Each structure stands twice: as C-alpha cells, then as structure tokens.
Amino acid sequence: MIRAFAFFLILSGLVLLAAWFAEHPGTVLVTFGDWRLHTSVGFLVVLALVAVFAAVFLDRLWRYLATSPRRIAVAFRENRRRRGYQALTQGLVAVAAGDADEAGRLARRAEGLLHNPPLTMLLSAQAAQLQGDEGAAANYFESMLHHPEMAFLGIRGLFMQALRDGDEENALRLAKRAYALHPKTPWVVQALFERELRAGKLEDAEATLREAVRQRALPAVEGKRRRAVLLLRQSALSKADGQAAAARRFAQDAWKLAPDFGPAAICYARHMAEAGDVPRAGKAIEKAWKESPHPDLAAAYLEIAAPGDALGRLQKIENLARLSPRHPESHLAVAEAALKAKIWGQARSHLADAIAALPSARAFRQMAELEAGEGGGEAAIAQWQARAAAAPADNLWICRHCSAIAAAWAPVCANCDTFDGFQWRSPGPGGPGAKAGPQPPISGRTHWFSRESSEIPNR
Ligand SMILES: [Zn+2]
C-alpha cells in the first residue's frame, strides 16, 4: 500500500517536472575542446536521471554478485542440515521399528550430513545395538560422556550394558553417576538402590531411600516400607552373624518405622519374646492386627504367648480378633481355633461371617472340617469341599519377579534375589509355577501398606 503510494508520488513528480520543462524551454551549450553539445535543459535532466538510475542498478548488481558465493554456501549447508535431520528422524523411527539395517544406514547418513552432533551418537549407538554390535554401541556411549547435554544418555546406555553383562561393580559406579546428574528420576533412584543392595552396601541403600523420599522421587509411604524391609534384612543378617543385640536393634528400628507392617511386627515381637518381654511382643502383634490382620500375625501371636491347650489358644485368638472384629481374617482365625477346641457353634458362626464377608477356599475347607467334626454327614462335607475346590486358591507369599512361593515372608527372594518381592496373593488359575506379570490389586485380601489396597471394612 505504502509502496504504491510512493510510486504514485514519484510518477506525479516526474510528470509535473516534465510539464514544467515544457513550459520553460531553455538550451544548454557544453563545449569540451573541439567537441560541442547543444541541447535542451529537459533532455539534460532526463540524461542525469538515467545516469543516476544506471549507477544504482550497477551498484545493486555488484553487491548481489559479490555476496553470491556466501549465499550459495549458506543454502547448501541448510540443505545438508535439513537432509541430516530427516535422516536422523527416519533413523529413530527405524530403531523404534527394530529395523537394524535401515537404522544403521540412516545413522551413517545422518552422521555424514550433520557432522556428528551429539544427537547422531544416540542414533548410531542404538543402531549398533540393534545390529548386535555392543562394542560399537559402547564407544558411542563413551563419546556421549564428553558432551554435557548427552552425558546422562551415555551413562544410561553403559549402565544397561553393565547390567546385561552382570558387571555389578561397573553398574554401581554408573548408577552413582546417573544419580549425581538426576537424583529425582525414579528409575535412577531404583537403579542405585538395587545396585547398593546387590553390593551389600545396605547403609548406603538406606541413605539413598531417605534422600529419594526427601527429593520426592519416592512416595513417603513406599520409602518407609522399603526402609523397614531393609532394616529387617539387616536384622536377619546380623542374627545369622551371631550379633543378637544388633539384630534386635534393627528389628526394633523396622517396627518403629512401620508398626503396621506385619513382617516388621512379627520380627520385633520374636526378638522381644526371646529377650523375655512377652507383653511387649504381644502388643506389637496386636497393633499390626488392628491395622491389617494376617494369618502370619495370628500364628506368631500364639507362638509367642504359648498358651498350652486348645481352649487357651482360642481365648488368646479371641482377644486378638476383638481388635479388628469385622475383618474376615479375624473370623477365620477364631473359627480355626474354635475348631481345634471343638467349640462347633462358635466355629460355625464365625465361618458364616467370614464367608458372608469374603468367600474363600480356606473358609470352605474349614466348613468341611466343621461338618466332619460335628458329624454333619458326607453330603454336607462333600458340598463344602466342592466349593473349596472351585474357589480361588489360598493366598501365599509369591515373589512378584520369579513367582517362587515362600513358606514365610522374607526381605529378599531366595530364588531370584529380588528385594521386597513377596506379595500375599492367590497363585491364580495359572498355578504357582506360572510366570505372573504385575498383578492387579486383589480386593478383599490383607495387604500391607499401599502396595495393594485392601477394600475390606476393618472395624
Ligand atoms: Zn523371586
């Protein structure tokens, strides 16, 4: 708009000038030696204007030609860059698709076009890994360490390689480096914690947990549980070493940290009972039962209190069950003790309550036992046995990593070394040997802490 207006102004000016010269004719005489030029003023003005325009045009042309090589070079570089990033993008897609040859080809192309910026190293490393060339991949990861913006990715790559090679020492060193760079990244925290555990550096592992909770890389409740499990592990190791006092202290620390966590309550209670403080041992179990009843707690309670006869045991369990009276586990514990004491009526009423709250194979089996004890007849026994067989299998301590079943909870799976791997759950339709993936929370069963939430009304 503004350009059109300016053009219009210039044009008007020229027309006015031409008109003015037409109205005021004049002549110009130029002599130079023998040479004479005799012309009108208007023609001379036009000549001067043409000369000015020609000078401007020639100047523009010269500048354009003078800067051309640089512009051509810039355009060429831009084109290479564009093609380089295109190769890089397609290479990453090839890596994601698992196409090793294509990824390798595009990595070389991106490297050639982009003059090896840090980004192509990642693609080259991944392509090399896809092609099974771990040595070349390691070289790329090592090169990344020299670039601050890529160092973390390099460390991660080398860490994964160390893990795969079973090089624990190197893996721990790399996990520490990764942690120094990104202390808030959950997988880094987990990696460092696990490596410290493997290396037997339990105190370092606990410090990592504390720091992870402080940095909010780990929820506080999960951090507490893991620290408690760690302390229970330390307690067991100390006990195996014959250091009774240290074992007791670790057990006490674990219990103080997580008094609702059944294994911690049981471990602490056993130490207290060994030290002769049975009342305190009982209190620890009672506190845990109040929050989350579990058959292990009931067994430990009887083991510690050691009441002699079946009636004494029933009485003891009734006291415990009163702390969480509506929980199916309380009904089942009382029913079991009542069955052993042959108090059939009490057993039946608690089993009925347990089944109403949560039908389970265990409750049906106890019903069959009750019918057998009370002389209820073959048909009734068979009916309960059939229901027990049809119900999901009883909960067991199952390792979430290798699905191994343990007779008792332990901080570490003896089969696969997984820390805090045991879950209290049913082996499921696949049977105990089946490899189980991550299990959804199973409602209506006792769980400790937030790992799997219990949906049972507790009181
Ligand atoms: Zn395991």
Q: What is the CA radius of gyration of the chain?
A: 42
What pLDDT score was predicted for residue 305?
Answer: 84
**Token output for 154:** 């390099």
User: 67 alpha carbon to ligand 1 midpoint, in Å?
Assistant: 71
Distance 374 CA to ligand 1 centre (A): 42
What was the pLDDT predicted at 448? 54
Q: How many angstroms does the Cα of residue 369 sit away from the middle of ligand 1?
A: 34
pTM over 0.75: no
Phi, psi angle pair for 411, to nearest 5°: -65, -30
Low-confidence ranges of the chain (pLDDT < 70): 116-117, 429-459
- Alpha carbon of 443 to those of 315, 324, 359: distances in Å? 29, 18, 12
Using an 8 Å Cβ cutoff, are 102 and 94 in contact?
A: yes
Please report the pLDDT score of residue 429 as a whole number.
58
In the sheet where 405-406 sits, what is the strand order?
Answer: 405-406, 396-399, 422-425
Q: How far is the CA of 239 from the centre of ligand 1 (A)?
A: 23
**Distance from Cα 293 to the centre of ligand 1, integer Å:** 25
CA of 422 to the centre of ligand 1 (A): 8
Residues ≥6 apart with Cβ < 8 Å to 401: 413, 416, 418, 421
Between the CA of 233 and the centroid of ligand 1 the distance, in Å, is 15
Q: What is the pLDDT of residues 265-277, one digit of tens each?
A: 999 999 999 999 9
pLDDT of amino acid 287: 96
- 102 CA → ligand 1 middle, Å: 39
Kindly give the distance from the C-alpha atom of residue 402 to the centroid of ligand 1, in angstroms, as a whole number: 4
How far lies 346's CA from each of 153, 318, 334, 340, in Å? 64, 11, 8, 11
CA 195, CA 112: separation in Å to the nearest integer?
A: 39
Judge whether 346 and 333 are in contact, CB under 8 Å.
Answer: no
Q: Where are the alpha helices (DSSP H) in 166-219?
A: 168-181, 186-198, 202-214
Residue 441 has a pLDDT of 35
